[in-house]
Amino acid sequence: MADLSKMCIHTITTKPWKLTQAVEHYAESGVRGVSVWQDSAQELGPLKSGDLIRENNLEVVSYVRGGFFPHSSKAKRDKAIHDNKKMIDEAAELGAPMLVLVCGAEPNLDLEESRKQIQGGIEAIVHYAAKNKVQLTIEPLHPMYADTRSAINTLRQANVMAEAIASKWVGVAVDVYHLWWDPDLEEEIYRCQEHGNFSAFHICDWNVPTTDLLLDRGLMGEGCIKLDQIKKWVIKSGFEGFHEVEIFSEKFWKQDQKEFMDKIVKSFSDYWKS
């Protein structure tokens, strides 16, 4: 029997399943954690969704995704603050310890201004997050998303921002899909943990060739990411949290999801043993 005690799955990974189906199959497969995407919690609502997960002996690991702070218009920046507070409320109802932030970017602004607005946005809601006991978790995204999805593109940038805000209610998510290419990754993983900011670790693989830069992620071991090396750095750093499978894939979403689930468990088991 594979050791799945550190295995978490993001509900977006098995997107065709409703949350009730996903929870049932995750529990049957021995998965221990669930990171809940907002859309999958809407049918039952956050409170009942969290209860369902816990009733099946699964742990709510995170709620996904807040952020998108930068805008050239003040009205839109204010709306982003409002929307993130709503996401914090939902995360608290769900019983999620963290809200993952896809921080956003505005192509009409330079990247430095977008980063200032991201930090300002997080600072504007951190007390609200603390009140609700929900950590705001900054996820740096690959530079290919620097136009509209995130102006935070390296682990160093995320570390600098988390350290500047200096709150236990702000952390960092390390996603191999976005960061595997970074020559400073090992050093920044250690730095993230040393400052107490390493909150989440997301895994998948980078297909070669990649047919879609958003919707063609691979199962662990299918692509070119040196997952065994990154996993060793993460464990050496002292990180003890879940290893969260997060795969966006039109190819896999078209498959029978139970068969896909079996592939996920097999690839995670091989990854864990490597």
Q: What is the mean pLDDT of residues 18-22?
A: 98
H helices of 108-255, in order, are: 111-131, 155-165, 176-179, 185-194, 227-237, 250-253
What lies within 8 Å, CB to CB, of 160 at 6+ separation is: none
In a domain, 1, yes or no: no
pLDDT above 90 (res 267): yes
Residue-range definition of the domain harbouring residue 152: 7-273
Q: What is the mean pLDDT of residues 98-121?
A: 98
Q: What is the CATH number of the domain that holds 105?
A: 3.20.20.150
Strand partners, 198: 172
User: Using CA atoms, how far apart are residues 47 and 56, in angstroms rounded to an integer?
Assistant: 15
Name the DSSP letter for residue 203. Answer: E
pLDDT above 80 (res 2): no
Asked if omega into 149 is within 30° of 0 (cis), the reply is: no
Name the DSSP letter for residue 222. Answer: S
In a domain, 124, yes or no: yes
In a domain, 261, yes or no: yes
In a domain, 151, yes or no: yes
Quote the pTM value: 0.98
pLDDT above 70 (res 161): yes
The band of 118, judged by pLDDT with boundaries at 50, 70 and 90, is very high
Supply the pLDDT for residue 25.
98
Q: What percent of the chain has pLDDT over 90?
A: 99
In a domain, 85, yes or no: yes
In a domain, 21, yes or no: yes
Supply the pLDDT for residue 3.
86
| Exposure b/e, 53-69, CB count within 10 A at least 16 = b | beeeebbbbbbbbbbbb
In a domain, 2, yes or no: no
The band of 1, judged by pLDDT with boundaries at 50, 70 and 90, is low
**Count of structural domains, the chain:** 1
In a domain, 174, yes or no: yes
Mean pLDDT of all residues belonging to the chain: 98
User: Using CA atoms, how far apart are residues 234 and 189, in angstroms rounded to an integer?
Assistant: 7
pLDDT above 90 (res 155): yes
Strand partners, 73: none
- pLDDT tens for each residue of 41-65: 999 999 999 999 999 999 999 999 9
